[in-house]
Structures are given as structure tokens and as C-alpha cells.
Amino acid sequence: MVRCSCIPPPASLQPRKIYNILVPDVFPLQPPDPHQDVPKGVERKMEKLAEYLQKHPARTAKVSRRLTRRIKHALYNKQFGYVKIAVQTYKYLLAKTGDDGSNFTFTYFAKELIDEPDTVMRTLLAHPEPLVKGLGAELLASYIKAQNPVEHQMRAVQPLVSTVCELARRKSGQQQLTLACLRAVAEFVGLCHELRTLPANLEEIEAAMLHNLDTNTAAGGAGPASGSDEASASAVAHSVLLKFKPFLQDISTVYRVMETLFRYLDQDGRWQQAEAVQRLMAIVQSSCTDQPFPLFTALMRHSSAPGLGPDERAVVINLALQQPPVYSLSAFSMALQELPRALTADKDSGTTQLRNTVMAAMRKLALEVGDAGQMCEAISSALRQHATPTKHAQACLECALAAVRTIPSFPEPGRTFPGGHAPAQLLQQLAAIITVWGHVEADARATACELLGAVLPAFGPGLRDEKQALGLMDLVLQMSRNFALGTPADVVIMGSVLATCLATSQPVLLLHGVRLAKALLTEALQFAPHTGAAAAVERAAGVERPGTGDDKADRLWAVALLVLVNNLLATLASRAKCTHLLPLRFNVPVDACTSLKEESGGLVSCSLLFEGVAASADACMRAVQVEWPVDHWYGKVLDALCKGSVLQTHYAHNLQNVVFEPFAAHAMLGLPAMQQLAAHAPSSTLVAPPVAGANASTGGANGNGRDTAITHISSKLEAMARNRVVSIKRERLNLQHVMDMLADGDCDDAGGASSTPRPAGAATANGAAMSADDVALSVADVLDVVAACDKMPPVALPGPGMLEMAELVQRLEAVSG
């Protein structure tokens, strides 16, 4: 039958828009109760709609638009039952997209659900009604679940996931809303797991899970929940946290996760809930089985975080120690950096419990290292960061001391330094702290002395490095001059240091020990009381005596130095195999210094401060000064060494000339410039006895607080002047000797020996010895000679042959002025 084109075909031949019937048919005439389940009849109509879309997938977008309009209309009229029907229809259709052979996918609904500015899910989640927000979270969970690794929209749903995380953290009291939000987050984490992609909002997800994790029940610490436990928010949160394990393969991610966990535990005193903290840490440890060290590091760093109480810091430190022991040396270094900060984080951090916890942690980590050399290198690296005395530096020294005291408990191979060589940096830093920080931070100096004493047993049979030994001997000399801060414990440490330096019986070190004994005796005798004319001259001249001003304290310090010299002589006698040194020990009464005593060849401290009878100390110093002048006593020492010792065997007939040289310390390389200046400024006084005027001026400059650099320069100039004085004295002696020989030659030529008596100051002929100290020179003479020598032209070297009289006279006039 032929029809006209202007006449439409009958309805039976036109395409039927059945979706216009199926979509409205899903909604009943009356809105159901939104709190009740969807009726069975409505579910059957949803099935018919899904079957229709499988046959006509092109109609999916139109069905989605009609559902969207119905949701917005129902929200406007507050017909929440219709909203639930529409959301359930969406969920059913999204679930069907995952079936095999489905002709439409979740992307067919993306325009209405995700893409548009006023999308359905954003509208539902922003609604003030908790029921509607829950429906939006359920729809988001279904939409994420419908995605797969091949086709997904993870970036598009990420802002919505952040929204549901915020809703889950609020804990509005609506259990259904919280549970729906957590399930949506769980689906998102599962999708990221399938895609092997780290969520950008990982911290938000973790915070939401932690706020909904019930750590007081067994579900919080159990594995993934099943059955009825899936209905609880705590079980969902626990299962989500367990899914974090694939994300924690990178160290930076571990730190991100731990920082979020710490922020959660810092609130409301949660660190004090021991069981809850243990369950949380068990969850984290199960997820970080491949990264135990970052977990330890994060806990150590958080122990010094601001805002924590002392008890909470102790809990964090104990949790860090519960981690599996890996990288023991790195763990010790990290603890040595962070635990001192925990002790000084705030004014309430220095409690006894926290301090005991920190020291126990340092001892445990040190025992895990088990090697003295490696541990001391780590301590040196930590001390290098402290250039000035602070509370943090003091705490670092205390932690290092607690660790070093465990060296005797190390395995046998790790108790001593390899090759008898100590870490040079550690000795330098301890020397700088003892010599430079003493006047500013006495506690740090005392702790550094204890640390040095605790390190000494690690030298084993003795210190074999000559430079290190000489540097430690110089440290002893510097400590002997620190009379203002000296304690009996310091003297004990000084004796232990000297015993360690001389333990190897090296002739060079024994030689330095003999020279140091003279220097220590000189330091002790400067505190001896003057008597008779010397005291009257001193009072008349107004010379300021060295010391603290407290005569009793100064005398006790001098007696302590005498005890140290006695101990040094005993050590030298044992190491040099020279028993003739023992009678040269000084007679120090017991009551002169009751704070020190000798036991088994070493010194022992009997009190914290120096104690003794002042009268006995004064009598002891007077007796030593009268009976044993320094030069006389030192000559006796040389005679004893020449009667048979290791030194005499080593140096043969040159021992007296070698030992006669003054003690010269070896500068510890590596010290900062200011520390070197302060540590070695007074060392020039060992070259020769100081001139009274120069010594007084130097002491006055120190008293006025002169800059350290100026003190260093002045000491250098003073040393140069003294060296010039010594050279002038030697030149005078040489010229006088030559003049005497020439005079004797003239007399012999005249007809025999002359009967004319020699002048009183003339030296004896035939090479008779004359000491350089016998030549009397005043300060003015020295300055005149120095000025004349600087201005005079260089003297031409004499040619071969006998010296002429004119040249000798010219040199004598040039030198003597």
C-alpha cells in the first residue's frame, strides 16, 4: 500500500520510546519510607529497565537524564523515598555494567554523575540531610566499584573521595552515613591497589580510617573482618588500613603514613592508651614488614616533636626500640641525634623517667653495634654538629657517655680500637670541649672528661699513635692550668690519660712523659707560698699571684698536681724499667689532700671537691719548693734515667741532650680556629720560664677579657722574644769561650801561663761548661738586643781559616749592643 510522505506512519510502525515508560514505572505512586529496604516489585522493574538497556544501549544516556531529573525534583520536594529509589536504580545499573557481555559501561552515566558542575553525587553529598549524604556515598561506592584497570576515572572521583573522608572524620552520630563513606573509601583504595597507584590523598584516607578505628575492641586488632563484622565501621577501617601494605614500598610513603598516625596519637592523650597504641603499631608493622628501619626512624624523630609530654616521649622511644634490629650503626647514629633533642625539647622534658628511658635506649643500641671503633666514629659525627655550648650539646654528651660505658660488655673483638688508633675527630672534639667550653659550660666539660675516661679502655694495650698521644699529653697540661674548674675526678682522668699514652712503652712517648713531668711540677710550684725576702718583694711590687684568689683552694690544687706527678713517675718507672725514679717521688702527707689516693698504680677520687688540711698543704708545698727546685729535681730524674732504662738504651749517650729539650705539644689538627687559639694560647710558657713583666701583662690582658686572637698573637710574640733571648745567650757563651781561648793563646806566646787573675765573670778555659741561665739579662737588655739585631746588616759568613780578632769584636758588639 502506497502512502503519501506527508502522512506519518501508524504508531505500530514507529520506534517506541519504551524508556519513557520503564523509568517512571520504577517509582511507585507514593514515596516509600527511605529508612526501609526497596520493595521487591521495584527491584523487578529495575531488572526490566536493565534488560531494555542491554538491548538498546544507545538509550542509556536518556535513561540517566530522566533519573537525574527525578532525583533533583524529589530533593526539591523533600521526597527522600523517591531519591532512594533513583539511587538504587543507578546502583543496580552500575552493577550490571560489570557483567560479561554487557553492552553499556559505567561511562554512559559519567555525564550526569561526575562530569557536570551540578552532578548527582556532588548534589547528594552536599545536602544537609545525613540520609541523603549516605545515599550519595553509596552511589559513589557503586560507581568506583564498576571501574576496572582498563577503563577508569580515578582522577575524576578523587575530589569526591576527599569529601567522603571529611564526612567520615566528623562522626556526626549517623552510623549509616559513616559506614557508607568508609565503604566508598575502601572501594577507592581497592581501585588504587589494582592500578598500582599511590592515592594522592593518602593522608586524608588514613586520618578517616584512624578516627573510625575502635582500638579498644578485638576487632581493632584482628585481621580483616568477615560476616557480621563487615557491618561495623571499625572493621571497614581496619580492612582499609591493611590494604596500605602495597603502598608502603617507598620510604617517603612510610614517613607520610607515620606522620599522619603520629598526628592522630598526639591528640587527646592517645599515647597514654597503651593497648590502643600497641594495636595501631601492630597494624602499621604488619603493613611495613619490608621497611622496618623507616618505622624506627620516624618514631625517633617524633620523640622530639613539640607538644608532647615527658611520659609520651618515653612511650615513643620504647616503641622505637621494639622495632626489629636492622642497620644497628645507622640506628645508633639516628638515636644520638634525636634523643638529645627529646631531653631538651621543652622545660618539662628533663624528668627522671624520660632521662632513664633515653639512657637505657642508648645502652641498648650501643650493645647492638658491638664495635667500639664504629660507635666512637658515630659519636664524633654527632659532636661535630655542636660548635657552641648549649643544652642540646650537653644532652648529646650525656647520651654518648651512656653508650661508651657499655664498651666492656661488647664482644671481645669489638672492645678495642683497631690497631690502637682512636678516632682522631673524637679526641679533637673532646679536647676542644674540655679546654674551651670549661669557663662557659662547666657541666659539659665535666661530662666530656668522663667521656674521655670511658673511652680510654678501648685503646687496649695502649695508644700507638705518637701524635695522638702527644696531643693527649698536651690536653693534660691544659687541664692542669684550669685550676678554677679542676676537680678530683679531673685529676683521675689526667692520670688515666697519661697511663694510656705510656702503656706501649715507646721510647718517644716515654721521653715526652719525662718532659711533661717537669712541666706539671712547674705548674704546681707556681702556687707555692713565698717566704722571707721573696714574699716581701712580692708584696712590695704588688705582683698578682696566679690562681683563683682562694689560697686554700690553690694549695689543694697544687698538692693534687704533685700527686699526679708522683703517679706519673711511678708509671714511667714501670714502663721505662727504671726503678731509680721511685725515690724521686714527692712526700705528700695524706691529710694534705684527702680527695685522691693511689690504688693499683692508678689514682682514685674520694670526694667530689678537693678536701684537705690547709696547713699541711702549705707545709708540703714549702718543703717541695725548698728541697726540690725544678732544675735540681729534673737533674736527678735525668741521672736516674741514665743509670739504666729503656730511654738510655734507645738514645744511647745522647739522652741528656734529648731530654733537656722542653715539652712541645702536638697540635690536634681539625679543631676549629677559635678552639685552637684558646687551647694552645698558654702553651708557650713551656719554652722557658716566663719574664715577670710579660707574665703580668699577659695575665692582666686575660683578666680584662682580651680577645682570644690577640692573646694568641701576643703569646707568639713572647715566644719569639724568648727564643731570641736563648739564641743571644748561646751566642754570648760561644764568643766568650773563643775570647778566652784566644787570650790563653796570647799568654802562651808571651812566655808561659799568665799569673794575672781572671775576671770574676770570665769562663774557664778548655771548654768548661757554663749554663745559659748564668748570663744575666734584664727585660730592657732583651728589647735593646732585639732592636739592634733587627737593624744590623747581616753578618757575612767567615771564610775558611782562623777567625780574626776584628770579626769577633764586631760580632760581640753587634750581639751585646
**Which domain range does residue 564 map to?**
474-532+546-666
Give yes or no: residues 495 and 447 share one domain. no
Q: List the grid coordinates of 660.
A: 733537656
Alpha carbon 226 to chain centroid distance? 49
Q: List the grid coordinates of 263.
A: 598526628
What is the tens place of the pLDDT at every residue in 688-707?
333 333 333 333 433 443 45
Q: Across the strands, what pairs with 596? A: 605
Q: Which of 1-10, 296-305, 343-352 has the highest mean pLDDT?
A: 296-305
- Note whether residue 590 is domain-resident: yes
Give yes or no: residues 336 and 281 share one domain. yes
Encode burial over 663-689: b for 16+ CB neighbours within 10 A, e otherwise: bebeebeebeeebbbbbbbbbbbbbbe
- The SS3 assignment for 53 reads helix
% of the chain at pLDDT higher than 70: 72
Q: List the grid coordinates of 1.
A: 500500500
pLDDT of residue 671: 42
Give yes or no: residues 437 and 480 share one domain. no
Integer CA distances (angstroms), 666 to 41, 62, 470, in order: 100, 93, 6
Give yes or no: residues 627 and 726 share one domain. no
**Overall number of domains in the chain:** 3
**pLDDT tops 60 at residue 809:** no
- The SS3 assignment for 171 reads coil
Is residue 679 a contact partner of residue 431, using CB atoms and an 8 Å limit?
A: yes
- State how far the Cα of 501 lies from the Cα of 498, in Å rounded to an integer: 5
Q: What's the mean pLDDT in 481-510?
A: 87
Q: List the grid coordinates of 76.
A: 526539591
Give yes or no: residues 739 and 596 share one domain. no
**pLDDT tops 60 at residue 224:** no
What is the tens place of the pLDDT at every residue in 575-626?
888 888 888 899 998 888 888 988 888 899 888 888 888 889 888 888 888 8
| DSSP structure string for 436-477 | HSTTT-HHHHHHHHHHHHHHGGGGTT----HHHHHHHHHHHH
**pLDDT tops 90 at residue 400:** yes
- Note whether residue 94 is domain-resident: yes
**pLDDT tops 80 at residue 412:** yes
Q: What's the mean pLDDT in 707-727?
A: 59
What is the tens place of the pLDDT at every residue in 14-36?
456 787 788 888 888 888 888 88
Give yes or no: residues 657 and 705 share one domain. no
Alpha carbon 733 to chain centroid distance? 58
Who has greater pLDDT, 646 or 524?
524
pLDDT of residue 695: 38
Give yes or no: residues 241 and 176 share one domain. yes
Is residue 495 a contact partner of residue 603, using CB atoms and an 8 Å limit?
A: yes
Work out the pLDDT band at 399, boundaries 50, 70, 90: very high
Q: What is the CA radius of gyration of the chain?
A: 45
pLDDT of residue 350: 64
What is the tens place of the pLDDT at every residue in 432-446?
888 887 667 788 888
Integer CA distances (angstroms), 478 to 76, 438, 572, in order: 89, 11, 20
Angle at the Cα of 13 from the Cα atoms of 11 and 17, rounded to 5 degrees: 65
Domain end, chosen from 666, 686, 718, is at 666
Of 491, 497, 570, nearest in space to 523 by CA: 491
- Note whether residue 295 is domain-resident: yes
Mean pLDDT of the chain: 78
Count, residues in the chain: 817
Q: What's the mean pLDDT in 527-549?
A: 57
- Note whether residue 686 is domain-resident: no
Work out the pLDDT band at 10, boundaries 50, 70, 90: low
Q: What's the mean pLDDT in 563-567?
A: 93
Domain end, chosen from 666, 682, 717, is at 666
Query: Does the pTM exceed 0.75?
Result: no
Give yes or no: residues 622 and 718 share one domain. no
- Note whether residue 381 is domain-resident: yes
Q: Which of 34-43, 720-729, 731-740, 764-773 has the lowest mean pLDDT?
A: 764-773
Give yes or no: residues 569 and 449 share one domain. no
pLDDT of residue 223: 44
* Residue bearing cell 645507622: 330
Output the 3-class SS for 569-628: HHHHHHHCCCHHHHHHCCCCCHHHCCCEEEECCEEEECCCCCCCCHHHHHHHHHHHHHHC
Q: Which of 34-43, 135-144, 360-369, 685-694 has the lowest mean pLDDT?
A: 685-694
Name residue 621's amino acid. M
Residue 344, judged by CB atoms within 10 A of its CB (0-12, 13-18, 19+), counts as middle
pLDDT of residue 172: 64
Give yes or no: residues 439 and 488 share one domain. no
- Note whether residue 673 is domain-resident: no
Work out the pLDDT band at 708, boundaries 50, 70, 90: low
pLDDT of residue 732: 67
Give yes or no: residues 734 and 625 share one domain. no
Give yes or no: residues 410 and 487 share one domain. no
- State how far the Cα of 379 lies from the Cα of 426, in Å rounded to an integer: 7
- Note whether residue 9 is domain-resident: no
Who has greater pLDDT, 700 or 555?
555
Who has greater pLDDT, 441 or 373?
373
Integer CA distances (angstroms), 557 to 443, 452, 619, in order: 19, 21, 14
- Note whether residue 25 is domain-resident: yes
